Amino acid sequence: MRGIVEGIQRKATDISALTWQKLWGEDATVKSGVGVNLDSALRTSVVLACARVIAEGVAALPFKAQREDDNGDKTPARDLKLYELLHDQPNEWMTAFEFIETLTLHAVLAKGGYAYINRIGDEPRELIPLMPNQVTVIQDKDYSLLYELKDFAGKPIDRLSSSSILHLRGPSWNSYCGIDIIQTARDAIGLAIATEETHARFHANGAQAGGIIAFKNKLSDPQVERLKVGLAGFTGVTNKFKTMILDDSAKFTPMSMTGVDSEHLAVRRHQVEEVCRFMMVYPLMVMQADKAATFASAEQFFNAHNVHSLGPWVQRWQGVIRRDLITPAQRRDGVDVECVIEALLHADLSAKATFLREMINIGVMTRNEARQKLNLNKRSGLDDPLVPQNMATVDEDGNIKPVSEPVTQKTPKE
C-alpha cells in the first residue's frame, strides 16, 4: 500500500470515509418498484437484525492464538503479536470485538470483508479494515489472487498480493468472492420495504372516517378546494375520531380498510421469514416469535443458531486467520488459532454447570480447569483428574491414587 515506508509502516486509509453510503452506487429497482441498496436494506429491521445477530455473535467469541507442543498440550501464545491482534486490539482505534464485528458485517452484507495486513518482516503488526467497495478481487491465470485498491472516487491506487490482505468471504460461487446477499435477496428485501412503506402511508394519510362523499350537485372549483382543505384536518394519527361536518346535502359513505383486512401484517411477517432464509438466521433470533414456540423449543432454536448460523462463520474466521495471519514458520512451531466456542454457554449457567460437571466426572477436565472456565483462581489439590469409576484421582503417569492414602508404588502398565 502506498504511503508505507521501510521499517515504520503508516496507515493510508481514510477512516472518516468508512460509511455505509460509500458501499453502494445507484438504487437497483426491483419487482416491488422500490430501490434496494445497502442503505435502504439496512433501514429494513430484519436485514439489520440478521446481520447484527451473526456479526455480534461471532465477535463475542474469544479468538486466541496458541502453541501446541509435541505432546498435544496447548498454551496461549502470548509472546506473539498475533495474540494481541486477535484477543485485544488489532489497530490503534478498534478493539478485537469491533474489528471482527465490522469485517463480519461486510462479509455478510457485501461480497467480502477485507483488511490490510500491516507487516514488519513476515509478522503482522496491525490490521486495517477496508471498505468492500474499495477492493476488487482479481484471479490470475495461475489462480493466485490480486487485490486492486481504489479510493472513494473509484480510482485505482494500488494492487496488492494476497499476502497483504486478510479476506473474509461468505458462501461463494466462484471460489474467491462471496455471494452478494443484498443483491441476491433484493426482491425479498424490496417487498419488505414496500409493505412497510405502504403500511406507514396508510396510517399517515388515511382518514379514520374514510369513504365516499356524494353531492347532489356538481361542485365548483372553489368548493372542491374548500372541501380538500376541510378534509385535511381529518388525516393522520393525531386527527383520528374527529367529527366531520358536511354541507350542501352531502352524504358520507364509510369505506374504511384496516391493515389486517388487507393482510399487510401477514405479508410483513412472511417477508421477515423470507429474508431470514436468505441470511441463514432463525426468525426467533431476530425477535420474530412463533406462537408455537415454548421455552423448551426456544432453547433448541438457540442451539441450532449456534451450530448452523454462527458455526460456519466461526470456521471461516479460523481458516482465514490460519491462512492469512499465521506464517509458515509459526505453523511449524505449532502455532494455531482457536475460537473458544464454550463462551456461548456463558449466559446459560445451568447448561454450563452441567457441561463442567460432566467434563470433570469423566476425567476430561480437572477441577481447576473448570474453575478457570468460571474465571476463578486455582486452588491447591484440584489439579488431578478424577477417575469415573470411583472418583479417585490419577497421577501424571495414569496410575490410580487411592483417596485414603497416597500411592507408594507405581502400578505396572498393561
- Span 135-175, pLDDT tens digits: 999 999 899 999 999 987 888 899 999 999 999 999 999 99
Domain spans, the chain: 1-207+258-345, 209-255, 348-414
Distances (CA, A) of 95 to 42, 99, 122, 127, 412: 23, 6, 23, 11, 53
- What are the Cα distances from residue 316, in Å, to 58, 61, 104, 171, 193? 11, 13, 10, 10, 31
| Residue 337 backbone zone (phi > 0: left; psi -120 to 50: alpha; other: beta) | beta
Q: Do the beta carbons of residue 388 and residue 362 sit within 8 Å? A: yes
309-314: average pLDDT: 92
Top-confidence residue, 233 or 136 = 136
Average pLDDT, the chain: 79
Looking at 22-26, 131-135, 370-374, which range is the least confident one?
22-26
Burial tier of 81 (Cβ tally within 10 Å: 0-12, 13-18, 19+): middle
Tens of pLDDT, residue by residue over 40-91, are 888 888 999 999 999 999 999 989 899 988 877 788 899 999 999 999 999 9
Distance separating alpha carbons of residues 138 and 176, to the nearest angstrom: 9
- pLDDT band at residue 266 using 50, 70 and 90 as cut-offs: confident
How many angstroms separate the CA atoms of 96 and 92, rounded? 11
The confidence score (pLDDT) of residue 82 equals 94
Euclidean distance between CA atoms 319 and 168, whole angstroms: 9
Query: Which pLDDT score, from 0 to 100, does residue 224 have?
Result: 77
pLDDT at 244 over 80: no
Spatial separation of the C-alpha atoms in residues 7 and 119, rounded to whole Å:
9
* Local confidence band at 112 (pLDDT 50, 70, 90 cut-offs): very high
Q: Give phi and psi for 65, each to the nearest 5.
A: -80, 135
Q: What's the chain's length in residues? A: 414
The predicted model scores a pTM of 0.71
Q: Identify the band that residue 271 occupies on the pLDDT scale cut at 50, 70 and 90.
A: confident
Lowest mean pLDDT among 36-40, 142-146, 275-279: 36-40
Confidence grade of residue 35 (pLDDT, cut at 50, 70, 90): confident
Over residues 335-357, mean pLDDT: 78
| DSSP secondary structure letters along 347-362 | T-HHHHHHHHHHHHHT
Sheet-wide strand order for 156-161: 135-139, 145-150, 156-161
375-397: average pLDDT: 78
Residue 24's pLDDT is 43
The alpha carbon of 17 is separated from its chain's Cα centroid by a whole number of angstroms, namely: 22
Question: How far apart (Å, rounded) are the C-alpha atoms in residues 199 and 259?
Answer: 7
From start to end of 86-187, where are the E strands?
A: 113-120, 123-130, 135-139, 145-150, 156-161, 165-168
Q: Evaluate whether 276 touches 282 at the Cβ level (below 8 Å).
A: yes
Sign of CA dihedral 159, 161, 164, 169: positive
Residues 6 or more apart from 244 whose CB is under 8 A from it?
A: 209, 234, 252
- Asked whether the predicted pLDDT for residue 37 surpasses 90, the reply is no
Confidence of residue 341 (pLDDT cuts 50, 70, 90): confident
Provide the 10 A C-beta neighbour count for residue 141. 5
pLDDT at 6 over 60: no
Identify the CA nearest to 285 among candidates 107, 54, 85, 31.
54
Query: Ranked by mean pLDDT, which of 37-46, 57-66, 198-207, 245-254 comes out on top?
Result: 57-66
